[in-house]
Every structure is written in C-alpha cells, then in structure tokens.
Amino acid sequence: MKPGHLAGEDLTVVSAFEAVGQYSAGRIDDVRLLAVERHACPGAGSCGGMYTANTMSSAFEAMGMSLIYSSTMAAEDAEKADSTEQSALALVSAIRKQILPRQILTRQAFENAIAVIMAVGGSTNAVLHLLAIADAAGVPLALDDFETIRARVPVLCDLKPSGRYVATDLHQAGGIPQVMKMLLVHGCLHGEALTITGQTIAEVLANIPDTPRPDQDVIRPWNHPLYPQGHLAILRGNLATEGAVAKITGVKKPQITGPARVFESEESCLEAILAGKIQAGDVIVIRYEGPKGGPGMREMLAPTSAIIGAGLGDAVGLITDGRFSGGTYGMVVGHVAPEAAVGGTIALIHEGDSITIDAPARLLQLNISDAELEQRRSVWQPPAPQYTRGVLAKYARLVSSSSIGAVTDHD
C-alpha cells in the first residue's frame, strides 16, 4: 500500500492505531485523530511499512519463490500487473521443467530469507512463519538459527515501524534485490540457491549493483548500517525456557526491570492503557494469548500501539505468549514459550512481581526464587478452554509450541 500523507508526514495503518493512544493520553485532539484515520490507508495493498505481509513477501523473494522486485511494488501501480504476467509465465515454465517447491525451499533458502529479514528490519512474525514453513518442507530450522544469522547480518534499511521510510520507498531505492546483492557480496547469502525461474540467486542478481545508490538513504551502505547486527533476538530465561522473540533495535533502553502488570487478555490490557493505568517502569504481561490459550495466537497491535501513542514506548516493557503485528516496536517480547495455557512460567506471574527484560544479555527473567516458582507451579490449574467443540477446540488440542512454529501436525 502506498503511504497516506498528512501535514508532510507519511502515514500507514499503524499511524491510526497509535493515534488512538495519543488521543487517549490527551496528546492530540479529535480533529487530528479523525484526520489520521481518514488519510492512513489511501488505497489497495498490504500495510505500507516493513510489517508482516511485506516482510513475508520479501522473504519469499529472498528464497527464490517469487520474481525479483515483486515484493515491494505498490499494489496499484502498472508494474504490478506486468509482474503478475511475468509471474504466470514463470509458473508455467516451472511446471514444464518440474521445478518443485521443495527443490527451492532448501536450508540455504531459509538462511537467505532470515538474512534478508534481518537486513530490512522485518516482522517478528517471520520467525513463527518460517519455522512453520520449514517444518512443512521437511527442512531443519530452529529458533537459535535466527540468533546465529542475526549476529552476522547488519540492519541496512531504515524502514517503518521503527524507522523513517515505507515499503514503496525501499522499492524506489532498489528493493529487495539491492539488499540481497549486498548480502551476497559480503558472504551473507547463498548464491547457489535455486529460484523459481531455474536460475540461481547469483544469476538472478548478476546485474544488480554491489552498492546502493548514493542519492537515497533508505538502504544504507554496508560500512554504515543502521545497526551492526540484526534486530530479531531470541531471549531465554526462566520466563522463556523454550525461547521468546524480541525486536531489539530502535529502543533507547534495551534493559528494563520493573513490576509486573498482569492481564489475562489483550482487551483487558488495552482498557488499562487507555485509562492511564500503566506507568513508566511497568512491565506489562499479556498471557493466555498463545497458540493454545488464544486459541490462535492473536497479535497485540492495539495495546502496543496505544503504549507508543501514550508516549510510553521507551518507558515500559511488555511480554506476551501471543504475537505482535509487524507494525509493533518498542521494548516488547512475544512468542514466550512455554505459553500460559500449558503452565509456562508466564502463567505463574503475580501482579507486582519483578521482571527483567535484558535484550543485550538475551534474558527474560522472573525475579523470584526457584522454590517460590515451584510452589506456584504446584498449585497452578489450567483455566477452562474457551472452546470445547468445533475447529478452534480441535486447533487448541493439536497446536504445538510457538518455539517450533505453532504447527498442528507435530508428533
């Protein structure tokens, strides 16, 4: 989606969510709120920043499953129609040549996708989705692989939600192929990986410049990245023995220790934020929103955007066993596993408990003794399931931990 414009500012759908928080905190009036709402989404297409849809389309371009440049084209531009025609021709050719998805979706392809997602500052949801896709494709992939690749790939693109630019700006600056070529040149991409056209990644990128154009600053030069390492970190500790996912770039204070403010649902948390009941230094806990507890692992865009809108983005932490929108940023940690619904430590937090989020140390910790934790665990009882029959009840019974992709056909 092309960005909306208001008073010289680029808007996306997240702008509308944040405006609700700004309005509730008295930072804008109803005239401004209505104006943002009316201008945020000017036409067709997926959310305008490097949010989940654009992150995943970029990932598939990186994996060779779609044609180059296709993931950052504006939905309403003529080149999208041309790309659609070219995509159909490529698909027919792949069928004739019997180039099959599992030949493209190799371990190398997934590593390429992760590298590109780190470089563009993509969504936390990419972790969940790529784990699930790899599982379906029979490719071994684990949470720690994201941490390994994060350590060697810088953030090269200054994109929303925490940056300045939108996806169409990235397209004009050279798109995903420019980012991929830089990664390839610097040894962070597997050039021999196959693509849907039958060419290798290196062959597809042969005519792309090694360096970004100097007349733009959406894509940074390799020696002047936005951040020296990737932005999606895997946190562990007694609150996430199976792991949790955090965006650690774009936050002024990557560590926080504060009192827990515990909520059993997204709605109850949002109500408290909009009522001004959250204070600087708090660590918000939203639980029973995981794969089984949701069921379905909802994204917490409304409360996280309200926090940003209220001016608390750098002053509070938030952890959840649910997901985040790709538009979320701030000191937030999601995909906490084991989730509350199966008795994970997040279910045992009491209001006011001390919690530490330490992004540089990759730590997510409930600061109570092991003895106290075990005592709480011994008396914990799972809540009654929200659904006892039908599709959602079946899903809740079958779904696995988010740490392995929340898949429903695992042994």
The predicted pLDDT at position 308 comes to: 85
**Is the confidence at residue 80, as pLDDT, over 70?**
yes
Q: What is the mean pLDDT of residues 253-273?
A: 95
- CA distances to 85, 207, 215 from 177, in Å: 19, 10, 17
Phi/psi zone of residue 311: left (φ > 0), alpha (ψ -120 to 50 degrees), beta? Answer: left
CA angle, residues 148, 123, 185, in degrees to nearest 5 = 50
Report which of residues 348 and 25 the model is more confident about.
Answer: 348
pLDDT tens digit string along 334-368?
A: 999 999 999 999 999 999 999 999 999 999 999 99
pLDDT confidence tier of residue 177, bands split at 50, 70 and 90: very high
* Residue 411 pLDDT: 66
Helical H segments across 192-297, by residue range: 201-204, 266-274
Q: Between 14 and 68, whose confidence is greater? A: 68
Cβ atoms of 21 and 310 closer than 8 Å: yes
Structure letter (DSSP) for residue 3? P
Verify whether residue 24 is a known catalytic residue.
Answer: no
Residue 90: what pLDDT? 97
Report the pLDDT averaged over residues 87-93: 98
Per-residue model confidence (pLDDT) at position 305: 86
Distances (CA, A) of 385 to 321, 334, 368: 16, 22, 28
What pLDDT score was predicted for residue 293? 96
The H-or-E segment that residue 354 falls in is: strand 354-358
Distances in Å between the Cα of 390 and the Cα atoms of 137, 397, 401, 410 are 28, 11, 21, 20
Task: Please report, for residues 229, 290, 325, 361, 364, the alpha-carbon distance to residue 358 in angstroms, rounded to integers and kept in the order given.
Answer: 16, 22, 21, 5, 7
DSSP 298: -
pLDDT at 66 over 70: yes
Residue 355: name the closest of 370, 337, 368 by CA. Answer: 368
| pLDDT band per the 50, 70, 90 thresholds, residue 241 | very high
- pLDDT per position as a tens digit, 270-301: 999 999 999 999 999 999 999 999 999 999 88
pLDDT of 251 higher than 90: no
pLDDT at residue 181 tops 70: yes
The pLDDT value recorded for residue 24 is: 86
> What are the counts of helices (DSSP H) followed by strands (DSSP E) for the chain?
15, 10
Domains of the chain in start order, with CATH, are 4-39 (no CATH), 52-75+86-204 (no CATH), 232-404 (3.50.30.80)
Model confidence at 264: pLDDT above 90: yes
pLDDT band (50, 70, 90) for residue 112: very high
Alpha-carbon radius of gyration of the chain: 21
Region 24-53 average pLDDT: 94
Mean pLDDT, the chain, as a whole number? 95
The pLDDT score that the predictor gives to residue 329 is: 78
The pTM (predicted TM-score) of the whole model is 0.95
- Which of 325, 401, 402, 403 is the catalytic position? 325
Distance (Å, whole) CA 7 – CA 15: 13
Q: How confident is the model at residue 331 (pLDDT cuts 50, 70, 90)?
A: confident
pLDDT by residue (tens digit) across 301-310? 889 888 988 8
What is the percentage of the chain residues whose pLDDT exceeds 90? 89
